[in-house]
Amino acid sequence: MSEITPFYEKKEVCPLCKKSFTTTKIRSRFVKVVSYDTDFSPIYQDPEINPLIYYVNVCPYCGYSYTDEFSRYFSSAILSEMKEKVSSRWVYQDYGKHRSIQDGINSYKLAYYCAALRNEKYVTMGGLALRAAWLYRLLQSQEEEKRFLEIAVKKYEASFSNGDFSRTKMSEIKILYLIGELKKRLGRYKEAAFYFSKVLEKQKNCTEPNILEMTKNQWQKIRNALK
């Protein structure tokens, strides 16, 4: 009997060009999270077994890059634009095997570009940018990390404003906290305090006590920083 490894190949059919390809994923039983950073970035026991790196599917034939959160529907106008701005410019690359952290970052950039072209939800685009920032954090690339945190917080603010996070895994309490936390990391303490205060206003009806506790901790840090 062959030994089961953390990695396996998953078959995908590209939603854009309809061609089949395989992409590497990580079996959940091998994923060990030690802790989470204050912006929910998971800290894995084994840095090599990091599912974030393999989160995005990249079609090697046309370049269309997507996650499970993406819509599968293409209007004729979007289909035409995707072919013009993605497929026609794509040079065959296979992201389906082992990926480095930089490969993972590149896959998020590709997915973000595709998401922007097809007008995916703001919350989806925010998640792509935030995960890219987490990977840059692993590389200790602070400038690029901040650049993608900036993109993420703008998309999350837009998501909160128009409510497109509803019916996703992102709750109102979580998105308010996350906006506050990202603004704090970017040094915008007064803006961060505003969003943290919105979380605290909802604490009577809060069903996520861990986020409430995190908010109180970060709120106190901001108060100390603003003194």
Residue-wise pLDDT tens digits, 71-93 = 999 999 999 999 999 999 999 99
Q: Which tens digits make up the pLDDT trace of 151-177?
A: 999 999 999 999 999 888 899 999 999
CA-to-CA distance for 46 and 5, rounded, in angstroms? 14
CA angle 95, 117, 169 (to 5 degrees): 75
Query: Average pLDDT of the chain?
Result: 95
CA-to-CA distance for 194 and 221, rounded, in angstroms? 14
Residue 219, pLDDT score: 87
With beta carbons less than 8 A apart as the criterion, state whether 49 and 98 touch. no
Question: How do strand 57-58 and strand 33-36 relate by DSSP bridges?
Answer: unpaired
**At 99, is the secondary structure helix, strand, or coil?**
coil
- pLDDT (mean) for 14-35: 96
With beta carbons less than 8 A apart as the criterion, state whether 67 and 123 touch. no
> Does residue 27 have a pLDDT over 60?
yes
pLDDT band, residue 1 (cuts 50/70/90): low
Residue 25, pLDDT score: 97
CA-to-CA distance for 9 and 25, rounded, in angstroms? 6
| Structure tokens that stand for 72 in this block | 């599968």
CA-to-CA distance for 113 and 62, rounded, in angstroms? 14
Residue 2, pLDDT score: 67
Contacts of 126 (CB under 8 A, 6+ apart): 151, 152, 153, 154, 155, 156, 159
pLDDT band, residue 223 (cuts 50/70/90): confident
CA-to-CA distance for 41 and 191, rounded, in angstroms? 21
The residues that bridge with 193 in the sheet, in sequence order, are none
Residue 226, pLDDT score: 76
- pLDDT (mean) for 109-117: 98
Q: How many residues does the chain have?
A: 227
> Does residue 147 have a pLDDT over 90?
yes
Residue 206, pLDDT score: 79
Lowest mean pLDDT segment, chosen from 42-46, 108-112, 179-183, 216-220: 216-220
Fill in the DSSP letter of residue 3: P
- pLDDT (mean) for 94-103: 97
Short-list 47, 60, 64, 52, CA closest to 25: 52
Residue pointed to by tokens 């979580």? 174
> Does residue 146 have a pLDDT over 80?
yes
